[in-house]
Amino acid sequence: MTQVTDRPMLPADPDSSPYWEAIDRGELRVQRCTTCATWRWPARAMCNHCFGFDHDWPAVSGKGTVASWVRTHRAFLPQFADDLPYVTVTVRLAEQPDLLLVGQLADSHAEPEPEPEIGMPVRAVFRGVSEGRGLVFWEPEA
Amino acid sequence: MSFSGKAAIAGIGFTEFSRNSGVTTLTLALRAIRAALDDAGLSPDEVDGVATHRVSDSAASMTVAQAFGIRDLKYFIDHFGGGGSSHQVIGHAAMAVTAGVADYVVCYRAINARSAFRMGGTGRGFVDSPETQYQAPYGYYTPPQQYAMIARAYMDRYGANERHFGAVAVNQRANALLNDRAMMRKPMSYEDYLASPWIAEPFRLPDCCLETDVGVAVVVCSAERARDLRQRAVLIDGATWGGGATLYSIGEPDLNVSGARHMAPRLYRMAGLSPADVDVAMLYDCFTFAVLLQLEDYGFCARGEAGEFVLSGATAIGGTLPVNTHGGFLSEGYAHGMNHVVEAVMQLRGQAGARQVKDARIALSTGAPGYVGGVTSALLLRGDA
Ligand SMILES: [Zn+2]
């Protein structure tokens, strides 16, 4: 599996930098409205529920379920050519049903990678933190 | 006040569909527009409006206007957007001619989508979306992956399977065999489909649209003016655009709800029509799955039933609702939405030759359903009596 440091990383923006700074420390934090407590994803200035601008970045439980998955067979991104075919998942965080994060299962070396089951409980784990560039992955809950 | 039925498509034109046009997108646009004007019986110096959508991959509307020598352009739109915007451009033109802003608006889409600018592929930077930065590190970024993610959730929820996806691809290939313009003229059986390589599971190669170099254009004017021109007028009874949540934006926990689902009732209301009135449908087929989804979104069958609907033969030419009679993006070529409009017009004029749907009077033509980028648009068209 492609090392975290070899993956295409886009520059963070002022809305998203708290997310990436937390990830680099091995923490999964999501923006939340401090007026009405609605979670926001992806990061942006205003709450789409109460239209307030105030927010904080609490750590989330790191628990979720697989909402869907796809197995990619083409090297759309050259950094992943050696991983083909690889599985990417969409994880629904436990905190709110519309918090849908794209990610991958951690440390899958089976070929081909096994099919995840939709609805399968997963929890967040981190890779690359010690190299200074963190990324969240997902591990099936025991 | 509605502009329903007050504007019309009076001319259609297209270039060859190819893998390498060898010319600029400006040239493709000009060739397609000239063909559409000739089709309508209009002189190029009557054009006073120019409209397009693009994703930094084509000639701007003003560049086209300059090529036509227009010194006082009365209307233009140069909308940034992909397939979801394709039908919106024509809706805008319909509003403009109904409001008297311009008399003859040419709407075009010109792309070298195979030889120069592959959607989500090589030769392109990352798209400008707030979501991309969270996805690219996981090798997830392109349209086939995004649609495959939704398709998998749909399969899991409704028991859809590869027979349903394959039926869409096979049906459209059969249609393409009746279409001289189509890029894919080799017959394809369901066995051929199953033997084809994976792209992004559950999508195989024939589940994905072609990448095409092409220009396609239509002329929009008032219904009144269109009736004085060469061709039978095709009236724009419904034109709506909208959208909202994308797959990873906030507010839509259901992976299988698209913007089109929210918009469709508004489209039918504007036209005073219902799904039962539609004789032929061109549904945005970036991927086979998008056809299934829109059959449900636009009210032709209940949720989860589209696959069996296609397998029943209902969407074949001769079925109750022929779909993508030209072969669609899967087998004719990919003009990013505009070739659907042109095929709908040909069907309503009775000019579709061997693939003509008998007595086609009402056609639905749709843009991308709004999963990626959020926007969607569609037209309900009627052949003038
Ligand atoms: Zn709020």
Instruction: Work out the mean pLDDT of chain B and round it to a whole number.
Output: 94
Q: Is the pLDDT of residue B239 over 50?
A: yes
Q: Does A114 touch chain B (CB under 8 A)?
A: no
What mean pLDDT do residues B185-209 have?
Answer: 97
Q: Do B149 and A88 touch (CB under 8 A)?
A: yes
DSSP notation for B209-256: ----EEEEEEEEEEHHHHTTSSSPPEEEEEEEEEE---TTSTT---TT
Q: Does A76 touch chain B (CB under 8 A)?
A: yes
Cα of A32 to ligand 1 centre, how many Å?
8
Q: Do B139 and A86 touch (CB under 8 A)?
A: yes
Q: Is the pLDDT of residue B167 over 50?
A: yes
From chain B, pick out residues whose CB is under 8 angstroms from the CB of A102.
Answer: 134-135, 138, 140, 248
Return the biggest CA–CA distance within chain B.
Answer: 58
Q: Do B121 and A7 touch (CB under 8 A)?
A: no
- Residue B335 one-letter amino acid: A
Complex ipTM: 0.96
Q: Do B248 and A100 touch (CB under 8 A)?
A: yes
Nearest C-alpha neighbor of B32 from the set B338, B325, B345, B346: B338
- Residue B241 one-letter amino acid: W
Q: Is the pLDDT of residue B1 over 70?
A: no
B123 — pLDDT class (breaks 50, 70, 90) = very low
Nearest-by-Cβ selection for A73 from B131, B137, B198? B198
Secondary structure string (H, E, C) spanning B145-207: HHHHHHHHHHHHHHCCCHHHHHHHHHHHHHHHCCCCCCCCCCCCCHHHHHHCCEEEECEEHHH
Cα of A38 to ligand 1 centre, how many Å?
5
Cα of B212 to ligand 1 centre, how many Å?
45
From chain A, pick out residues whose CB is under 8 angstroms from the CB of B156.
Answer: 68, 118
Please tell me whether the peptide bond between A42 and the residue prior to it is cis, using omega within 30 degrees of 0: yes
Interface of B with A in 143-182 (CB under 8 A): 144-145, 148-150, 152-153, 156
A16 CA to centre of own chain: 13
**Rounded alpha-carbon distances, angstroms, from residue B20 to B24, B27, B113:** 10, 13, 9
**Whether residue B284 lies in the annotated active site:** yes
Cα of A65 to ligand 1 centre, how many Å?
25
pLDDT in tens, B316-328: 999 999 999 999 9
From chain A, pick out residues whose CB is under 8 angstroms from the CB of B252.
Answer: 98
- pLDDT over 70 percentage in chain A: 100
Cα gap A93→A61, rounded to integer Å: 8
Question: What pLDDT, on the 0 to 100 scale, is given for residue A114?
Answer: 84
Question: What pLDDT, on the 0 to 100 scale, is given for residue B115?
Answer: 85
What mean pLDDT do residues A32-59 have?
Answer: 96
- Positive or negative CA dihedral for A37, A41, A44, A50? negative
Show Cβ contacts of residue B48 under 8 Å, excluding neighbours closer than 6 positions. B70, B72, B73, B74, B75, B102, B103, B104, B105
Please tell me whether the peptide bond between A140 and the residue prior to it is cis, using omega within 30 degrees of 0: no
Q: Does B249 touch chain A (CB under 8 A)?
A: yes
Cα gap B261→B256, rounded to integer Å: 10
Question: What pLDDT, on the 0 to 100 scale, is given for residue B125?
Answer: 58
Nearest C-alpha neighbor of A89 from the set A111, A109, A118, A62: A118
What is the reported pTM?
0.95
Nearest C-alpha neighbor of B34 from the set B271, B160, B215: B215
Show Cβ contacts of residue B133 under 8 Å, excluding neighbours closer than 6 positions. A9, A10, A11, A12, A13, A16
Q: Is the model more confident about B246 or about B174?
A: B174
Question: What pLDDT, on the 0 to 100 scale, is given for residue B156?
Answer: 97
Task: Tell the residue number behind the tokens 């997108």, with chain if given.
Answer: B25
Which of B104, B268, B334, B371 is flagged as catalytic? B334
* Backbone φ, ψ for residue B203 (5° rounding): -100, 130
Secondary structure string (H, E, C) spanning B287-317: EHHHHHHHHHHCCCCCCCCHHHHHHCCCCCC
Cα gap B218→A111, rounded to integer Å: 50
Nearest C-alpha neighbor of B239 from the set B325, B345, B339, B366: B366
- A61, A95 Cβ separation under 8 angstroms: yes
- Residue A69 one-letter amino acid: W
Minimal Cα–Cα distance from A71 to chain B, Å?
5
From chain B, pick out residues whose CB is under 8 angstroms from the CB of A42.
Answer: 130-131, 134, 248-250
- A125, A110 Cβ separation under 8 angstroms: no
Reported as type and span, the H/E element at residue B44 is none
Q: What is the DSSP letter of A103?
A: E
* Backbone φ, ψ for residue B107 (5° rounding): -115, 130
Please tell me whether the peptide bond between A85 and the residue prior to it is cis, using omega within 30 degrees of 0: yes
Q: Is the pLDDT of residue A5 over 90?
A: no
- What the block records as the tokens of B289 is 């799955």
| B11, β-bridge pairs | B219
pLDDT in tens, B289-324: 999 999 999 999 999 999 999 999 999 999 999 999
pLDDT in tens, B96-110: 999 999 999 999 999
